[in-house]
Amino acid sequence: MNLEARDSVRRHRAQAPLIDRVDRYLRREDTILAHVAAWFSPDVPENSEFPGHYYLGSHRKRWLVDVPFGIAGTAITAIPIAVFGTAVWLEDHGPIFYLDERMGPHGETIQVRKIRSMRLGADKISPEEVDRINLSVGPGDDPRNTRVGRVMRRFEIDEMPQFWQVLKGEFSMNGIRVMKQSFRDSMAKSVDPGDMEKWDAAYDRGPGIYNPNASRTKHRKDDKKRIHDDLLYDRRASLGFDFYLQTVTDLRMIGMFRTWATARSYAPLKDVVVDDIPFQIAVLTHQEWNFAKHFINELALETALLERMKAEGENGHFLDIGASIGIYSSLALRNGMSVTAFEPDPQSFGRLMANTEINAQRRGQVQLIDVALSDETGSAALFSDGIEHGCPSLRRTLDQSTFVEVPTFTLDELILNGLIDRPTFIKIDVEGAEMNVLRGGAQYFSSPEAADIFIEVHPDFLPLFDSSAEEVIGTLTDEFGYTLVSSMHKQNEVVMSFSKRG
């Protein structure tokens, strides 16, 4: 085994310290939202940890937010709307704007104006097919999008014309997000009728563009959570809270663009060779490079996995569960394999996108999905203090101080419904959540054609999930019919290889 790494390309441009501080601030957003909402709210539950003190506004005073932000938004977005609108027309000579019918208050309808991001006729695709497409590739890479539309959807540029609609008074900047009638009816099937009645009354007070569901993680698959957050916002709505939400959303849009831009800067690049397979890693700081070297050095010791990658080549499909920044996936790509990689941590996922993009050798070779695989579909808190600290986990394994809510899916749901290709071998590194992944894939893992598994077992973290290394091994061998082929101890983990083929 050998490991060679050297710097190439020039150093990354100077970092923006102010944006870095804002980014760190926004990582604590759940806690900040609770404090700010309580501070500005006149109506806080008696058992609330954060008692309210002042009330600076009401629903009737939303124009104090709508007018300044509406004017600023309309002025700032005028040129981007003209540029992207022209690009849309030049691509297929179709209409520039698209009118999307949404619910208005008191049974009325609202025509939400967007820059058209999709190909002509894409609106005829069924909602079920839309969900399947977005789960498979993500909204930004939806094949229904035009080339210009992919860029617009990634940064929500297609929503810019709505600032003008705010100025016209069709809806507000802040409020329960303007919704399609079909989505409302779908939610009504899965939530308490009393809560739905309260939600309808809140919606009639005036929908808007932004609310806690927009400024935080979107609960696309959890209707109860969405209803809860919408009602919480409605009860605590105030001028001060609306100003806060609007400012936070704008700052996050700036941070989102910066993340996208830096993820694609690829500077400096590191040229790496592991077991005679060359690949490249994009890092932004010296600390990130040290973190990457830790993974690379561990990978160089995993001879069974490396030999398997070489043997599979272009005929293999590598399923990387807990892909982190993509070291294993990048090596698999350079070896010709196709890759499906799961990584729920937003910061790690940004690096994963960059690293797989520079190492992919053909179109469609890699599929990246930013969800956590678990034993049920829904959402969960992911604890992480950033890339340099490592070990994002569904439990507070290393006393992490920050967390983000992430969607969860089961492996069975994805494989058996054809949302991902069947793998030829699997790597699992999920920081103690090994049994969650295995339970969520029980039907697949029990089948005779289930792929071989390389799993990193974390004896120190497993008790936080009410599990143990013995349970992981027993489930794979006794319940799923695997045979333990090899094991290797490294620091506080054990890397094990299991196969159904001897």
Secondary structure of 104-158 in the HEC alphabet? CHHHCEEEEEEECCECCCHHHCCHHHHHHHHHHHCHHHCCCECHHHHHHHHHCHH
Helix (H) or strand (E) holding 243: helix 239-263
**Residue 12 lies inside a defined structural domain of this protein:** no
Task: Mark whether 257 and 327 lie in a shared domain.
Answer: no
**Residue 256 lies inside a defined structural domain of this protein:** yes
Query: 328 φ, ψ to 5°?
Result: -65, -45
Task: Mark whether 159 and 209 lie in a shared domain.
Answer: yes
Q: Which one, of 63, 52, 113, lies nearest residue 85 by Cα?
A: 113
**Residue 63 lies inside a defined structural domain of this protein:** yes
Task: Mark whether 219 and 365 lie in a shared domain.
Answer: no
The answer to whether the CB of 217 falls within 8 A of the CB of 406 is: yes
Give pLDDT, residue 44: 38
Task: Mark whether 307 and 252 lie in a shared domain.
Answer: no
Task: Mark whether 147 and 196 lie in a shared domain.
Answer: yes
The answer to whether the CB of 177 falls within 8 A of the CB of 207 is: yes
d(C-alpha 406, C-alpha 408), whole Å: 7
Q: How many domains does the chain have?
A: 2
Helix (H) or strand (E) holding 430: none
The answer to whether the CB of 343 falls within 8 A of the CB of 352 is: yes
Picking from 261, 289, 314, the residue at the C-terminal end of a domain is 261
Picking from 261, 288, 319, the residue at the C-terminal end of a domain is 261
Residue 5 CA to its chain's centroid (Å): 30
**Residue 268 lies inside a defined structural domain of this protein:** no
SS3 assignment, position 260: helix
Give pLDDT, residue 333: 94
CATH code of the domain covering residue 463: 3.40.50.150
Intervals of the chain under pLDDT 70: 1-61, 122-143, 211-222, 236-237, 248-269, 285-286, 388-390, 401, 502
Task: Mark whether 346 and 474 lie in a shared domain.
Answer: yes
Residue 196 CA to its chain's centroid (Å): 28
The answer to whether the CB of 244 falls within 8 A of the CB of 58 is: no
Domain extent at residue 46: 17-261
Task: Mark whether 314 and 463 lie in a shared domain.
Answer: yes
CA angle 329, 331, 336 (to 5 degrees): 95
**Residue 210 lies inside a defined structural domain of this protein:** yes
Task: Mark whether 248 and 310 lie in a shared domain.
Answer: no
**Residue 481 lies inside a defined structural domain of this protein:** yes
DSSP letter assigned to residue 189 = T
Retrieve residue 455's tokens: 């799993």
Give pLDDT, residue 143: 64
Beta bridge partners of 407: 379
Picking from 200, 230, 261, the residue at the C-terminal end of a domain is 261
**Residue 1 lies inside a defined structural domain of this protein:** no
Task: Mark whether 444 and 346 lie in a shared domain.
Answer: yes
Q: Which one, of 330, 248, 183, lies nearest residue 33 by Cα?
A: 248
Q: Which one, of 8, 4, 62, lies nearest residue 269 by Cα?
A: 8
DSSP letter assigned to residue 492 = T
Q: Which one, of 297, 293, 291, 327, lies nearest residue 309 by Cα?
A: 327
Three-state SS for 264-291 is CCCCCEEEEEECCEEEEEECCCHHHHHH
**Residue 272 lies inside a defined structural domain of this protein:** no
The answer to whether the CB of 64 falls within 8 A of the CB of 70 is: no
**pLDDT tens profile 395-454:** 887 777 678 889 999 999 999 888 999 999 999 999 999 999 999 999 999 999 999 999
The predicted model scores a pTM of 0.51
Beta bridge partners of 493: 490
Task: Mark whether 204 and 332 lie in a shared domain.
Answer: no
Give pLDDT, residue 149: 84
Give pLDDT, residue 211: 64
- Cα dihedral across residues 28, 31, 34, 37: positive or negative: negative
d(C-alpha 219, C-alpha 331), whole Å: 34
Task: Mark whether 376 and 474 lie in a shared domain.
Answer: yes
Task: Mark whether 227 and 359 lie in a shared domain.
Answer: no
